[in-house]
Structure 1
Amino acid sequence: MTNTREDHWPAPVASTPLDAAVRVPGSKSITNRAYVLAALASAPTRVRRPLDSRDTRLMLGALAALGAHSEETADGFLVHPRGTTSGRADEVTVTLGNAGTVARFTPALAALGDAAVLFDGDDAIRRRPIGPLLTALRKLGARIDDDGRGAPPFTVHGAGGLRGGRVDLDSSASSQFLSALLLAGPAFDQGVTIRLVGGAPPSEPHIAMTVDMLRRFGATVDRSEAEFRVGPAKLSCPEYVVEPDLSTAAPFVAAAVVSGGTVRVHGWPKQTTQPGDWMRSLLPALGAKVTLDDDGLVVTGGSAIPGAELDLHEVGELTPVIAAVLCFAEGPSTISGVAHLRGHETDRLTALATELSSLGAGVAETEDGLRITPAPLHGGVFHTYEDHRLVMAAAVLGLRVPGVLVENPATVGKTFPEFVETWRDLVG
């Protein structure tokens, strides 16, 4: 990545209240879970309206390396169950990029196969936590070599199956550790029983999403307090339709609040497990009017944005956009419960405090979040640390701050390759 001004995107300013409508692509979280479950199914699955982005292409590539091939269709992909990887090479390589779902959801599938599989990716993925998941997989019968790093690169030696059974798991750093074992559990000889230790996982909605999707593919999932049980099962789901990504919709919803205008997000589901749906309950507290009808969500911003105290533990991925909105509030705000964001694509708390403060806002890190004191803002370069959510936060900030230059906007291709063009159309 270079740092020339030619590589920066001038975030467009909303000179008048917005009056616009938008469609966002499919949910990354749902898309990649659907692909993994399809790879474990007993027959092909047609995944319709999936997200097409770097992370989802990396997932399809990883599954292909593990023997589950896919074919592109008119509105998605037909994913075939995993086959054999033997005879192809002494070692199969899975390219992770900086995709947390790929790094965490696919090692268990490699343990089910019959090849040595090397997992590696971008420098950033080597800094993201995965050690507790590898420890749990070893206890369930997997052989994994990582030279004690607890991070990529590591090699999973397939033995044709995995015993499974009961295991303790510390999923406090990421709910994806728990989801990874739950998703693969139906393919283990004994299924899997997971007892959570070390504190509650963040992002309960993502856990609910995993459980719901497992059941839709035919698995039996039992949950009691801090214990989950998935029995061995023959999975099947001939067709799966992916919902729009509500976390990706967050900056567009925020645009209505910041501009004092109206934005409709087409296709917003009336019932969903996506954490992005939490925005609906938050918006009235930020002075906005919200209506959900058969065509989607309509948000109209108010005359002012109140300060707020928000615990975002369950919806941490919304923090960058919400922090940008709160820079325009009438009073101080606090975001808490999101210490785990230090282990995301970048240390999001440090990045947000640094970049928002560099443009004039009073933003300081706390032990588990941010303290935001509104102040006059000015233009300048907003560094994005190869993090798609920071590009979206910078775009929201630029609606009311002339001269915001967003570094490396192409990094948003992780979840929404057409974000910049769609945002330009929104602002007009």
Structure 2
Amino acid sequence: MSTSRPVPWPAPTTVAPVHAEVSVPGSKSITNRALVLAALADGPGQIDGALDSRDTRLMADALGTLGATMTWDGDSITVVPGPLHGGEVRCGLAGTVLRFLPAVATLADGEVVFTADEEARHRPMSTTLDSLTALGADIVGSGDPDTPLPFRVVGHGGLRGGEVHIDASASSQFVSGLLLAGSRFDEGVTVVHEGAAIPSQPHVEMTVAMLREAGVHVDVEFNRWHVSPGPVRARHRQVEPDLSNATPFLAAAAVTGGSVLVRDWPQTTTQPGDQFRTILSDMGAEVEYHAHTRSLLVRGTGPLNGISWDMHDIGELTPTVAALCALATGPSTLSGIAHLRGHETDRLAALEAELTAVGCGVTQTADGLVIDPAPLHAPDGAVWHTYADHRMATAGAVLGLVVPGIVIEDITTTTKTLPDFESRWQQMIAG
């Protein structure tokens, strides 16, 4: 179970527009994929610009438990692969650890036990476990389909691999987890998705791009990925800033009528967070990309427009976008995000509860939310609950800029992906 203690945090309110330049640390998604590939590589590698957060430390510690050597030096990590062996993998709340490492564990010589925080124990896992079993893995489940953790992967030093048909409509991580380790399977792996559209498709594209950068041969067709058997080449990687972590700061410009510039924004990227700039533009903010300085500038120009957006590929942005919609001049519809009911918490229910508590009209649909803005206020003694979800915490912070009295239940949830969020937020407000 999680050992963190709730730390109520009065969200800062500002009566003046926010004007600031900010930077955000490396992408969690890229860092954790890079760690897996480096641990499976044919020699030592280095990752620069890595994110140092709870999720990435959990991934590094887990791979260290399985046999790799991880040496941190600031935001650089040197990874020396080693023979994989058994041990306990503590997943915390990290979906990437939970869904990526069972495939790696099949290559170990020994038994690997997977445990996690209480809040993660109900996250969907059957697709990962069933697909690995179909590929020849020896897995001992918890015996409770509703609570898959803890489970054990009995590694025999390798896996047959081959073709497997899965339903990844609940999470793109089911696909990425198989692809990342697939080149080390005897027959490689062919993953065929059968079901509704895969959410967060850009994350699968990120996985494919990083595999190819490591010399792994990947063929992609519609809903079909084939990874050929072969080595993962060791390399020196540079991690992009985490664009999803940048979104609350950019939102601050939009809601206060200010301006925020985020440095080192990549010109091209597979990160879903890049789409936030289009959402901001649709809502009426001014958005400029400066290629010569690799920076993104957002200016709040007045009232925000309501939007109708399919968030299927960018579900992780939903809490921040929902906060903006609650401050818009008209209703918004966010769709394509039924899968968010299986994230750190049921994010749709959480957003409905917390936005309703501050006066916003919110209705859940089969696959999303309808948000009908109204004058917002924080009742005396009310708390914005975070549900052990970092993005719920940052969404509350965005609203707190213009709604006095919002108290975030547990701001330490942000350490999952942005350990120093509080200080960065205060520095942004201070300009």
Answer whether TM exceeds 0.5 for this pair: yes
Structure 2 match to 1:50: 50
1:363-385 CA distance string (max 9 Å, x none): 12111111100011112310001
Q: Secondary structure at the match of 1:115?
A: strand
Letter in 1 for 2:97: V
Task: Tell me the CA shift for residue 84 of structure 1.
Answer: 3.8
Structure 2 match to 1:320: 319
Contact 1:63–1:82 (CA<8 Å) still a contact in 2?
A: no
Q: 93, 100, 122: which one pairs with 1:127? A: 122
Task: Tell me the CA shift for residue 13 of structure 1.
Answer: 1.0
Determine whether 1:104 maps to 2:99: yes
Q: Secondary structure at the match of 2:152?
A: strand
Structure 1 match to 2:385: 383
Structure 1 match to 2:159: 162
Determine whether 1:273 maps to 2:292: no
Structure 1 match to 2:337: 338
Q: Give me the whole-angstrom Cα distance separating, in 2, the residues matched to 1:304 and 1:211.
A: 40
Task: Tell me the CA shift for residue 2 of structure 1.
Answer: 11
Contact 1:131–1:149 (CA<8 Å) still a contact in 2?
A: no
Q: Give me the whole-angstrom Cα distance separating, in 2, the residues matched to 1:366 and 1:407.
A: 26
Q: Secondary structure at the match of 2:359?
A: coil
Letter in 1 for 2:287: V
Structure 2 match to 1:405: 407
Q: Give me the whole-angstrom Cα distance separating, in 2, the residues matched to 1:219 and 1:108.
A: 16
Structure 1 match to 2:62: 62
Task: Tell me the CA shift for residue 82 of structure 1.
Answer: 3.4
- In structure 1, stretches of 5+ residues that fail to align are 86-90
Letter in 1 for 2:20: A
Task: Tell me the CA shift for residue 3 of structure 1.
Answer: 12
Task: Tell me the CA shift for residue 74 of structure 1.
Answer: 4.6
Task: Tell me the CA shift for residue 201 of structure 1.
Answer: 1.0
1:213-241 CA distance string (max 9 Å, x none): 00011111111112110001211132001
Structure 2 match to 1:136: 131
Q: Secondary structure at the match of 1:162?
A: coil
> How does the TM-score come out when normalised to structure 1?
0.96
Q: Give me the whole-angstrom Cα distance separating, in 1, the residues matched to 2:128 and 2:388.
A: 25
RMSD: 1.5
1:67-89 CA distance string (max 9 Å, x none): 1121123541101113142xxxx
Structure 2 match to 1:88: none
Structure 1 match to 2:396: 394
Task: Tell me the CA shift for residue 177 of structure 1.
Answer: 0.3
1:385-407 CA distance string (max 9 Å, x none): 11000011000000110000001
Q: Give me the whole-angstrom Cα distance separating, in 2, the residues matched to 1:7 and 1:265.
A: 28
1:226-274 CA distance string (max 9 Å, x none): 2110001211132001000000001011111111110000111001000
Q: Give me the whole-angstrom Cα distance separating, in 1, the residues matched to 2:74 and 2:387.
A: 34
Contact 1:276–1:318 (CA<8 Å) still a contact in 2?
A: yes
Structure 2 match to 1:418: 420
Q: Give me the whole-angstrom Cα distance separating, in 1, the residues matched to 2:278 and 2:32.
A: 26
Task: Tell me the CA shift for residue 322 of structure 1.
Answer: 0.4
Determine whether 1:286 maps to 2:293: no
Contact 2:51–2:75 (CA<8 Å) still a contact in 1?
A: no
Structure 2 match to 1:196: 193
Q: Give me the whole-angstrom Cα distance separating, in 2, the residues matched to 1:316 and 1:389.
A: 11
1:337-382 CA distance string (max 9 Å, x none): 0000000000000000001100111112111111100011112310
Letter in 2 for 1:415: T
Letter in 2 for 1:412: T
Q: Give me the whole-angstrom Cα distance separating, in 2, the residues matched to 1:128 and 1:18.
A: 37
Q: Give me the whole-angstrom Cα distance separating, in 2, the residues matched to 1:233 and 1:44.
A: 17
Task: Tell me the CA shift for residue 125 of structure 1.
Answer: 1.4
Q: 113, 134, 138: which one pairs with 1:118? A: 113
Letter in 1 for 2:139: I
Q: Secondary structure at the match of 2:33?
A: helix
> How does the TM-score come out when normalised to structure 2?
0.96
Structure 1 match to 2:90: 95
Q: Which moved more, 1:41-50 or 1:67-76?
A: 67-76
Task: Tell me the CA shift for residue 121 of structure 1.
Answer: 1.1
Identity across matched positions, percent: 51
Task: Tell me the CA shift for residue 33 of structure 1.
Answer: 0.2
Structure 1 pair 57/310, CA: closer, same or farther in 2 (3 Å)?
same
Q: Give me the whole-angstrom Cα distance separating, in 1, the residues matched to 2:422 and 2:152.
A: 37
Task: Tell me the CA shift for residue 427 of structure 1.
Answer: 1.2
Q: Give me the whole-angstrom Cα distance separating, in 2, the residues matched to 1:134 and 1:75.
A: 33
Contact 2:84–2:107 (CA<8 Å) still a contact in 1?
A: no
Letter in 2 for 1:8: P
Letter in 2 for 1:405: V
Letter in 1 for 2:119: A
Structure 2 match to 1:252: 249
Task: Tell me the CA shift for residue 147 of structure 1.
Answer: 3.8
Q: Give me the whole-angstrom Cα distance separating, in 2, the residues matched to 1:64 and 1:75.
A: 17
Contact 1:353–1:365 (CA<8 Å) still a contact in 2?
A: yes
Letter in 2 for 1:252: F
Q: Give me the whole-angstrom Cα distance separating, in 2, the residues matched to 1:213 and 1:114.
A: 26
Contact 1:218–1:236 (CA<8 Å) still a contact in 2?
A: yes
Q: Secondary structure at the match of 2:43?
A: coil
- In structure 2, stretches of 5+ residues that fail to align are none
Q: Secondary structure at the match of 1:298?
A: strand
Q: Which moved more, 1:69-78 or 1:211-220?
A: 69-78
Structure 2 match to 1:205: 202
Q: Give me the whole-angstrom Cα distance separating, in 1, the residues matched to 2:143 and 2:362.
A: 37
For these two proteins, the number of residue pairs brought into alignment is: 422
Letter in 2 for 1:153: P
Contact 2:307–2:333 (CA<8 Å) still a contact in 1?
A: yes
Q: Give me the whole-angstrom Cα distance separating, in 1, the residues matched to 2:340 and 2:346.
A: 6
Q: 261, 265, 269: which one pairs with 1:264? A: 261
Q: Secondary structure at the match of 1:118?
A: strand
The 5 A counterparts of 1:294-305 are: 294-305=293-304
Structure 1 match to 2:369: 370
